[in-house]
Chain A
């Protein structure tokens, strides 16, 4: 029965700065970029020395393409706006919020990507050699081990080094000496997905609200208040700090509201860091202070607004 409370495998909300790609079987992978420009730059220049990276990048391209197509389809149906975009298996990708569409330069890549996408459907192994072929051709002349400093990388070699090799060297060195700069690992921020159970027929239990609030560094009360205001309902907290919400809500719906909460009350608008604090400032105003860049902004208090009278009208009149 659909009404059965089901405990789904733990999913996570990814707050990676780089593109986060969700695999079909629920694996989540983040590309190693810190910003959008680098993304396209790196995917152009596949490091020749590092086949595994090559393969991974190729895989990403195929996946990214697939995901974009999916997104387009969703738009066509016109049922959700960009914010509510959720991957099939329920993974939430907050980074998609801002940079849903990355502009890829339209060069020969177009058919290359199409090929990749095709190959990706059959198996990712097939995609890798294709990309190597393509990438190895222009830089075949430029030999040498950049780590050991031989060939074109020798100190006294005067042969001009082409752009792709240089770029490749840059990323290799970056990965080696500053892995945290090259990867989004440091910035990635995950909160567990909300666990929703059904209590009876009319109530929903949001089981791990305490854990989520702890991760976001917000009080349960504030989050609860926001949830109730947004969902247009009320509820209570039970003995083990679980939130009992009146009404039937799915995990996806709670997730959407939480995501909005994060955008509004958690992330820093200046540097997008989720490492922030919410304090009550002067004149009853709430301020979000960022722990990474120090910026401070005021946030609106949560207002419940108009709430229509639902049911029980007879009882209230009497």
Chain B
């Protein structure tokens, strides 16, 4: 039996983001940023920054490269740590891959921020 009044719903929580008070964050921002950059001409580059440390970036890169048929590398940035760099606009694919429960990383979609146009 459930009593309506005893549900743990916080009416004062910030609208929109549910995790505002969470402390268990991988790095200070806690978000995974997927960005896009323009190269010369129509070429673009996708970067994935802030993947949880528990994952082996090399293995992820390998899977992504195979899955999305693109090349990529891991860049070690002094501030941002390891960042995956992919050729082309892979933002949507990567986002889906990170969230995917079956063959992805099962991450929470709320922690992923996709940037760009």
Q: A155-179 toward B: CB 8 Å interface, digit per residue (1/0)? A: 0000000000000000000000000
CB distance from B109 to the nearest CB of A (A): 11
A256 to B36, CA, bound (A): 14
* Secondary structure class of chain A's binding surface, majority of residues: loop
A306 touches B117 (CB 8 A): no
A306 interface neighbour in B16, B83, B116, Cβ under 8 Å: B83
User: A229 to chain B: which residues have CB within 8 Å?
Assistant: 115
A232 interface neighbour in B14, B38, B83, Cβ under 8 Å: B38
Decide: A308 near B117, CB < 8 A? Known: A233-B37, A297-B14. no
Decide: A233 near B38, CB < 8 A? Known: A305-B33, A306-B83. yes
CB distance from B34 to the nearest CB of A (A): 10
Closest to B41 in A: A248
Q: B64-98 toward A: CB 8 Å interface, digit per residue (1/0)? A: 00000000000101011001010000001000000
Asked if A51 is at the interface of the complex by the 8 Å CB criterion, the answer is no
B77 interface neighbour in A269, A306, A311, Cβ under 8 Å: A306
B15 touches A269 (CB 8 A): yes
A307 touches B37 (CB 8 A): yes
A231 to B115, CA, bound (A): 8
User: A230 to chain B: which residues have CB within 8 Å?
Assistant: 115-117
Asked if B29 is at the interface of the complex by the 8 Å CB criterion, the answer is yes
B117 touches A311 (CB 8 A): no
Asked if B45 is at the interface of the complex by the 8 Å CB criterion, the answer is yes
Q: For chain B, give the interface size range.
A: 20 to 34
A310 touches B39 (CB 8 A): yes
Q: A201-224 toward B: CB 8 Å interface, digit per residue (1/0)? A: 010000000000000000000000
A297 to B80, CA, bound (A): 27
B39 touches A305 (CB 8 A): no
B38 touches A308 (CB 8 A): no
User: B33 to chain A: which residues have CB within 8 Å?
Assistant: 305-306
Closest to B45 in A: A308
User: A256 to chain B: which residues have CB within 8 Å?
Assistant: 117
A231 touches B117 (CB 8 A): yes
Asked if A279 is at the interface of the complex by the 8 Å CB criterion, the answer is no
Asked if B40 is at the interface of the complex by the 8 Å CB criterion, the answer is yes
CB distance from B48 to the nearest CB of A (A): 9
User: B16 to chain A: which residues have CB within 8 Å?
Assistant: 269
B80 interface neighbour in A232, A306, A311, Cβ under 8 Å: A306
Decide: A305 near B116, CB < 8 A? Known: A311-B39, A311-B40. no
A229 to B49, CA, bound (A): 14
B85 touches A232 (CB 8 A): no
A247 to B40, CA, bound (A): 8
Decide: A257 near B117, CB < 8 A? Known: A310-B37, A311-B39. yes
CB distance from A244 to the nearest CB of B (A): 15
Asked if A254 is at the interface of the complex by the 8 Å CB criterion, the answer is yes
User: A231 to chain B: which residues have CB within 8 Å?
Assistant: 38, 116-117
A303 touches B29 (CB 8 A): yes
User: A305 to chain B: which residues have CB within 8 Å?
Assistant: 33, 35, 49, 80, 115
Asked if A253 is at the interface of the complex by the 8 Å CB criterion, the answer is yes
User: A254 to chain B: which residues have CB within 8 Å?
Assistant: 117
Asked if A249 is at the interface of the complex by the 8 Å CB criterion, the answer is yes
Q: Closest 5 CB pairs between A and B?
A: A253-B117, A232-B37, A247-B38, A306-B80, A306-B49
Q: Which residues of B contact A (CB under 8 A)?
A: 14-16, 29, 33, 35-40, 45, 47, 49, 75, 77, 79-80, 83, 85, 92, 115-117
- Enumerate 27 A-B pairs (CB-CB under 8 Å) in ascending A order: A79-B92, A202-B40, A229-B115, A230-B116, A231-B38, A231-B116, A232-B36, A232-B37, A232-B115, A248-B38, A252-B117, A269-B15, A269-B16, A270-B15, A297-B14, A305-B49, A306-B35, A306-B49, A306-B77, A306-B79, A306-B80, A308-B45, A308-B47, A308-B75, A310-B37, A310-B38, A311-B40
